[in-house]
Amino acid sequence: MMSAGGTMKSALGLMLVLIGVALGHGLDNAIEATLVAVSPDWLTSLTTRF
């Protein structure tokens, strides 16, 4: 059980580093634009209404 916790902790750390690198390189804007383009209109209007 302890080794699984250590593995998950390392996986979470790697994910956070990858997300940080993506944010640093501006990849989040491209991902956001893609998600907005493929989302239904009702969802976009609901999330941007307020």
Q: How confident is the model at residue 10 (pLDDT cuts 50, 70, 90)?
A: very high
Residue 31, C-beta contacts closer than 8 angstroms, at least 6 positions apart: 22
Closest CA to 36 of 47, 26, 25: 47
Task: Tally Cβ neighbours within 10 Å of residue 44.
Answer: 13
| Pairwise CA distance, residues 27 & 7, whole Å | 27
The predicted pLDDT at position 2 comes to 67
Q: How confident is the model at residue 50 (pLDDT cuts 50, 70, 90)?
A: confident
User: pTM surpassing 0.75?
Assistant: no
Look-up: residue for tokens 């609901």? 46
